[in-house]
């Protein structure tokens, strides 16, 4: 009887000990979960909530629940909404494509052995280390009509015969902003693709060379297949970031998204509605639409690209 009692007490102690240890992982991740709830999930839920309301502090007498009226107005009456979708699609496609091509080209060069390679690798990362506002201000000065170095350089070498307002003219504003963001975004692809290139076994290239394959065939049949996963993931991430890009466009266009809304993307339009006009309900509805667009795009892109599937 005493032996049975001892065994039972031992089991009870072990059970309590296990229960006490099992709580430890949850206690360790609790701060991260709390922060995610406060700074991620609560704002998202709040946006969905306000999207169903009319909420403008300047017109408090009109505030209240209106159901899907904001969405109905966006899709049936707001012509600028469709224009922003077009600008956003063009912006994301051009930026991601050019950044990928340029980043891959630079990564291939930096993967070679040459003198001062470490210095050039460090220099290639510098634009990525500079904040968006500083980058925007820098390029705003470069494109300045009166004192910008770009106009001065092009006039000195005879390409221009008059000064151009790069950020104000219809034909040049979008291209100028694309150039500024391109300079900032290329290092992201360069870093990621360079890391991917260094994982490719060198003996594959040696075998291909022995078999008579040139650089182009080696690039197509060895380099690209090995970089497939990296390219899919980086293009997806960059597409999401470029879709949500506001700081550079906002600063370079002085918060207008001009000229005549030619550089107004959907996130920029949300800022103009929610922050400038303080129509938080309408801005929240636009945000919900943007969230759904990104969600559908991400799922569709990963599915069509076969991400995570082994060849």
Q: Locate 250 and state its tokens.
A: 């906002």
Element (H, E) at 74: helix 69-76
The set of residues, in sequence order, having a beta carbon less than 8 Å from that of 261 and lying 6+ positions away, is 80, 83, 84, 87
HSE, CB side, 13 Å, CA atoms: give it for residue 269: 26
**Beta bridge partner(s), residue 64:** 54
The set of residues, in sequence order, having a beta carbon less than 8 Å from that of 71 and lying 6+ positions away, is 51, 285, 288, 289
Nearest alpha-carbon partner for 211 in 196, 222, 226 = 222
pTM of the model: 0.85
Contact 174, 260 (CB under 8 A): no
Contact 291, 299 (CB under 8 A): no
Q: Locate 236 and state its tokens.
A: 């997806």
Report the alpha-carbon distance of residue 80 to residue 257 in Å, rounded. 12
The set of residues, in sequence order, having a beta carbon less than 8 Å from that of 246 and lying 6+ positions away, is 265, 267, 268, 271
Could you state, in order of their start, the residue ranges of all structural domains in the chain? Answer: 2-35, 68-305
Is the N-terminal amide bond of 259 cis, ω within 30° of 0? yes
Contact 168, 259 (CB under 8 A): yes
Residue 159 phi, psi (nearest 5) = -75, -35
122 class by beta-carbon count within 10 Å (0-12 exposed, 13-18 middle, 19+ buried): exposed
Question: pLDDT (tens digit, 0 to 9) for every residue of the chain, 311 residues total?
Answer: 455 555 556 566 555 555 555 677 788 888 888 988 888 888 889 999 999 989 888 787 778 889 899 999 999 999 899 999 999 999 999 999 999 999 999 999 998 888 888 888 888 888 888 888 888 999 999 999 888 899 999 999 988 888 888 998 899 999 999 999 999 999 999 999 999 999 888 888 888 888 777 888 888 888 898 999 999 999 999 999 999 999 899 989 888 888 888 999 999 999 999 888 889 999 999 999 999 999 999 999 988 887 766 55
Under CATH, domain 68-305 is a member of which superfamily?
MetI-like (1.10.3720.10)
């Amino acid at each position: 009887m005493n032996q049975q009692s001892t065994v039972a007490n031992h089991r009870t102690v072990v059970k309590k000990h296990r229960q006490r240890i099992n709580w430890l992982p949850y206690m360790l991740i609790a701060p991260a979960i709390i922060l995610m709830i406060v700074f991620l999930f609560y704002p998202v839920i709040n946006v969905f909530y306000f999207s169903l309301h009319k909420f403008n502090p300047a017109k408090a007498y009109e505030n209240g629940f209106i159901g899907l009226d904001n969405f109905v107005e966006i899709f049936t009456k707001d012509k600028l909404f469709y224009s922003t979708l077009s600008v956003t699609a063009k912006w994301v496609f051009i930026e991601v494509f050019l950044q990928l091509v340029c980043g891959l080209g630079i990564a291939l060069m930096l993967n070679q052995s040459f003198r001062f390679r470490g210095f050039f690798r460090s220099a290639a990362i510098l634009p990525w280390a500079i904040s968006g506002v500083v980058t925007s201000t820098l390029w705003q000065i470069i494109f300045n009509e009166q004192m910008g170095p770009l106009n001065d350089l092009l006039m000195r070498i005879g390409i221009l015969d008059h000064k151009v307002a790069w950020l104000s003219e219809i034909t040049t504003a979008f291209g100028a902003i694309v150039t500024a963001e391109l300079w900032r975004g290329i290092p992201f692809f360069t870093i990621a693709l360079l890391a991917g290139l260094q994982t490719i076994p060198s003996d594959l290239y040696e075998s291909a060379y022995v078999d008579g394959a040139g650089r182009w065939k080696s690039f197509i049949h060895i380099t690209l297949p090995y970089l497939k996963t990296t390219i899919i993931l980086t293009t997806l991430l960059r597409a999401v970031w470029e879709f949500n890009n506001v700081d550079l466009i906002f600063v370079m266009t002085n918060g207008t998204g001009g000229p005549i809304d030619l550089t107004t993307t959907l996130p920029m339009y949300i800022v103009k509605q929610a922050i400038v006009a303080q129509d938080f309900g309408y801005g929240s509805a636009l945000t919900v639409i943007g969230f759904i667009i990104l969600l559908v795009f991400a799922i569709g892109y990963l599915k069509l690209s076969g991400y995570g599937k082994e060849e």
